[in-house]
Each structure stands twice: as C-alpha cells, then as structure tokens.
Amino acid sequence: MIIPLDLIALFFLVVIALAAITVRDLLAAIVLLSAYSFIIATVWVEMHAVDVGFTEAAVGAGATTAFLIATLARTRRWEKR
Amino acid sequence: MRVRGKGKEHGQEQKHKRDVIVTTIARLMIPFIQMYALYVMVGTEGAGGGFQGGVVFAASFVLFVTAFGITRGRRRLPESWNAALSSLGLYFYAGIGLLCIILSLFSAQYLNYGALPLWEIIGRPETRGLMITFVVEVGIAITVMAVFTSIFFDLAWKGEEDKEDNKEEGGE
C-alpha cells in the first residue's frame, strides 16, 4: 500500500465525482462514472483487494456503462436546466 | 401496406453501416473474452469468481450486440434461452445443496459440500468440496450471464423497436 498514490487517486475520485454530478451532458456524466469505476478499481487492486477490484472493473466500468448508454439512447442527451 | 420483416431489414441497413474494423476486432476479441470468463469462473482453485465470470461472459454478448446489431444478437441468444438459462443456474445451485442433504441421509446441512462422497471416488481427501464448488460456480455464472444479457437486450431492443415503429408510421 503506497500512501501518496492512494491520496492522488482519491483526490481524482472526488474531482471526477463532482464533475459527474455537475455536468449537463448526460453522456459525459456516464463516461465520467466509468472513469470513476476504473480509478476505484485500480485503488482496490493497489490495496491488495484483487477480487473487489476485478468485480468493480467488470460490473462498474463494463456492464453499468453499457446499461446506462443503452438507457440514454431512449431518452434525451441533455439535462434540462 | 408493407411487409413488416422487409421494412425492418431495410431500415436497419440504412441506419448503421457495419464498420469493417469494428466487426473484425469484435470477431477477434469475443472468443478470448469468453475464454477469459471461463478461466475466471473455474480456472483457479478454490471458491469465488462465479459472479465475475458471468459478468465478463455477458460483456462478450454486449460487445457482439455493439458490433453486429441487436437482431443478430437476439438470433444468437434467443429470449427463451435467456429464461431457461437464468433458472438453470439456480437449479444447479439449489440442486447441489439438496444433494448434500439427500446423499448424507439427512445428517448434513444444506450446501454442506464436505458431505458429498465425491472425494472418495477421486481418492484425494484434500480435494473434497472442490469439484462441488466447480458446479456451484458454473451455476452462478450461468444465471448471472443470462440475467445481465437479458437486461442489456431489453434496454437496447426497445429503443430500436420504437424507432422502427415511428419510421413506419411516418412512411405510411
């Protein structure tokens, strides 16, 4: 476990989470959530929890992104103000 | 009045042209993804990995649909198969649990893998339970794969169907 790497990754996590809830483009929000899942998966692996990291990468970055994009295809892309 | 099947094919051909790079890459990647899913499921010793293997297997179907379209994907894995597979895995899991009770003549608990006499047949006492978790994990993976694929097919299928309906109404 490397403390500075964790701190950098967690800082990026907070930034990406704030960006995902403030952005108006919903497709961009989905991609940001995918990036969030990917970074937290690397954090899990780096903390020696390979099982959790693998699950996060498969479900969070893979399946959930596909589901959300398929859902977005049925609605409109831009959030109303 | 147009024939519905004909209009469907026509509309699909117009909407997306299949890119040769995407289809070739998908053709190359899908067998490796499915092999990796099988490795995650049962390749390593010990329990765990059924859920992740099922999700990775479902991801290969998502890639197939992305590259080749929803109609070909549905033809490859029909809806009746989805319903059958999602309950088949559950039957594997529950059946192994019940088998433990029945074969030990009601002295062991539900899902007590050690009570199954399979390790006596193999002859290595340290592998008791391992072959059983193999079956259980395959069951979990089948159910997870079927349910994830079914969710994705439902989400993606409705969108295309609605668009086709609108187009047909506008055309007529």
pLDDT digits (tens, 9 = 90+) for B17-32: 778 899 999 999 999 9
Q: Is residue A54 part of a domain?
A: yes
One-letter amino acid of B58: A
One-letter amino acid of B164: E
Boundaries of domain holding A7: 3-72
pLDDT digits (tens, 9 = 90+) for A15-69: 999 999 999 999 999 999 999 999 999 999 999 988 899 889 989 888 899 999 9
Q: Is residue A79 part of a domain?
A: no
Q: Is residue A78 part of a domain?
A: no
pLDDT attached to residue B103: 79
The alpha-carbon gap from B163 to the nearest alpha carbon of chain A, in Å, equals 9
pLDDT digits (tens, 9 = 90+) for B106-145: 777 787 777 776 666 666 666 656 667 788 888 999 999 9
Q: Is residue A81 part of a domain?
A: no
pLDDT digits (tens, 9 = 90+) for A7-23: 999 999 999 999 999 99
Q: Based on the structure, what is the number of domains in chain A? A: 1
The alpha-carbon gap from B117 to the nearest alpha carbon of chain A, in Å, equals 30
- A64-72 and B130-171 are packed helices; what angle lies between their axes, rounded to 10 degrees? 10
Question: Is the per-residue pLDDT at B9 higher than 70?
Answer: no
Q: Where are the domains of chain B?
A: 4-171
Residue A27: burial class (beta carbons within 10 Å; 0-12, 13-18, 19+):
middle
Q: Is residue A12 part of a domain?
A: yes
Question: Is the per-residue pLDDT at A73 higher than 60?
Answer: yes
pLDDT attached to residue B8: 45
Which of the residues B36, B39, B41, B56 would you substitute to probe the A interface, choosing the one with the greatest number of A C-beta atoms within 10 Å? Answer: B56
